[in-house]
Amino acid sequence: MDSTTRATGVPAAREAGPAPRRGAMLAILCAGMFLVLLDVTVVNVALPGIGRALGTGLPGLQGVVDGYAVAIAGLLLGGGALGDRIGHRRLTLTGFALFGLASLACGAAPGAGPLIAARIAQGAGAALLLPGSLALITAYHPGRAEQARALGVWAGISSTALPAGPLLGGLLVDTAGWRWIFLLNVPITAAAIAGVQALVREPSRPRAGAPLDRAGMVLAPLTLGGLVWTVIAAGHGHRAGAAATAALTLAAGTAFVLAERRAAAPMVPGALLRAPAFLGAGGIALIMNLVTNGVLFVATLRLQQAGDRSALLSGAMLLPMAAPLAVLAPVSGRLTARFGTRVPLAAGAAVAAAGSLSLLTAGPGGGYAALLPALLGIGIGDGLVVTAVVAAAMRAVPPAHAGLAGGFNNTARQVGTALGVAVYGAVAGPAPQPAFASGLHVLAWASAGLWLAALALTRVVPAR
């Protein structure tokens, strides 16, 4: 076994290939994360239109966003572990297919309930393709510097969904209608499936013989999903519902811990859960998405509902958050390759914390001036963090757990997304109400504090 095989678990002859082929393969695999992020940002600007068309209020709109995020968060760990055993190429193809079919169902949904159900199915497809595509990228780019650059490309291409989402979503909502934000995914997933079949080969599977942790794959989504729905129910004053889901979440979480201790091949090995570097990378990823998507959710409501702006104009106003992330993600990859993970992580957390505090200037109404510095600061911070935090997660585990590391890190991000929408929406409340501005002030302090916690966690992640 040569050094390349030992480093990645992928035979050197199978990972090498002509540069154009590898570039095309990387671009196709990046399409997975692009679609996943696109369906977060596209949906945000369409929420008021969906609410009017389907007759649903704030809880229903949170369900449209969180049904998707909860499904991803709950199933990502299982998806990563499954790919480590059955093959990440196969898992990626399955994920693209499910995502495309669920997008078609979203576009045809007759009401809020069917739309939320289809969004959950979308999230399940994303939970399969995300860890699979990320594991394939890291397997075929084994060197640390090469891997950091590839992850920078991955983050950069996928992050273009953030500036594209608000503009594309606003344009589609104002012209063709909100259903087309989902129907657009169908031809893209079909093209991605054809590209994976033509260009991507299956690397070796270091854990192919290990048994699946079936109990963990069932209990993990129940635990994570229950946590988010408990927060949503509590935020809307549904005490009985919150108490019931909290009890179920506690029971599922306890059963998950016990099952993992007894499992021959646990979904999350206990050694990793005791590794500060692994957990630190996951914590930073969770904080990044919690604050970013929480602020994005309330900013969209403020711009459209309190400010009475069109979806397209609101989407354009969100570009100061989205554009820096897309531009700086490849820069983060280059910084990580040169200086290691801690420098871009610390710089990004500090800038985002400062930007979050600018929400303290927000007053009543739908004014944009108070939002702009926050959107810009968080966008710049995210751009510096996004590639480095993935690299930190992948470097904190042995090569045999590449799929698990990608799944865990993305799980943390999606849990953050779901909690951010649930918590920030509950604290701010409906945008036209006078209390919305005071809620933003509370969220400003909370966001800055979370980013400072992320800054502290940079001390425990892998330096190189």
Confidence of residue 210 (pLDDT cuts 50, 70, 90): low
The maximal CA–CA distance of the chain, rounded, in angstroms, is 67
pTM for this prediction: 0.73
- C-alpha span between 140 and 199 (Å, rounded): 12
Confidence of residue 3 (pLDDT cuts 50, 70, 90): very low
Least confident piece of the model among 184-198, 302-316, 383-397: 302-316
Q: What was the pLDDT predicted at 270?
A: 75
- pLDDT tens for 418-427 read 788 778 887 8
Tokens of 27: 């671009």
Q: What was the pLDDT predicted at 144?
A: 67
- pLDDT tens for 377-393 read 999 999 899 888 888 88
* Burial annotation 357-381 (CB, 10 A radius, 16+ → b, else e): bbbebbeeebbeebbbbbbbbbbbb
The residue length of the chain stands at 464
Tell me which residue of 165, 190, 154 sits closest to 37, measured CA to CA.
165
Answer yes or no: is pLDDT of 17 > 50.
no
Mean pLDDT to the nearest integer, 198-208? 67
Least confident piece of the model among 250-254, 258-262, 299-303: 299-303
CB neighbours of residue 286 within 10 Å:
25
Architecture in CATH for domain 18-212+265-457: Up-down Bundle (1.20)
Q: What was the pLDDT predicted at 9?
A: 35
Answer yes or no: is pLDDT of 353 > 90.
yes
Mean pLDDT to the nearest integer, 347-365? 88
Q: Between 210 and 226, where is the model more confident?
A: 226
Q: What was the pLDDT predicted at 205?
A: 55
Confidence of residue 151 (pLDDT cuts 50, 70, 90): confident
Mean pLDDT to the nearest integer, 344-354? 94
Residue 77 near residue 414, CB atoms below 8 Å? no
Q: What was the pLDDT predicted at 322?
A: 78
- pLDDT tens for 35-60 read 877 887 778 778 888 888 888 777 77
Q: What was the pLDDT predicted at 2?
A: 34
Residue 424 near residue 326, CB atoms below 8 Å? no
Answer yes or no: is pLDDT of 107 > 70.
yes
Best-predicted range by mean pLDDT (49-53, 177-181, 409-413): 177-181
Structural domain boundaries in the chain: 18-212+265-457, 213-264
- pLDDT tens for 91-105 read 889 999 999 999 999
* Percent of the chain whose predicted confidence (pLDDT) is above 90: 21
- Residues 6+ positions from 194 with CB-CB distance below 8 Å: none
Best-predicted range by mean pLDDT (64-78, 172-186, 206-220, 413-427): 172-186
Confidence of residue 18 (pLDDT cuts 50, 70, 90): very low
Region for 220 from its dihedrals, namely left if φ exceeds 0, alpha if ψ lies in -120 to 50, beta otherwise: alpha
Tokens of 207: 């854990």
Mean pLDDT to the nearest integer, 319-341? 83
Least confident piece of the model among 154-168, 197-211, 320-334: 197-211
Confidence of residue 348 (pLDDT cuts 50, 70, 90): very high
Q: What was the pLDDT predicted at 11?
A: 37
Confidence of residue 83 (pLDDT cuts 50, 70, 90): confident
* Percent of the chain whose predicted confidence (pLDDT) is above 70: 86
- pLDDT tens for 109-143 read 998 889 999 999 999 998 888 878 877 887 777 66
- C-alpha span between 379 and 376 (Å, rounded): 5
Which DSSP string do the residues of 394-439 spell out, in sequence order?
HHTS-GGGHHHHHHHHHHHHHHHHHHHHHHHHHHH-STTSTHHHHH
Answer yes or no: is pLDDT of 149 > 70.
yes
Q: What was the pLDDT predicted at 4?
A: 34
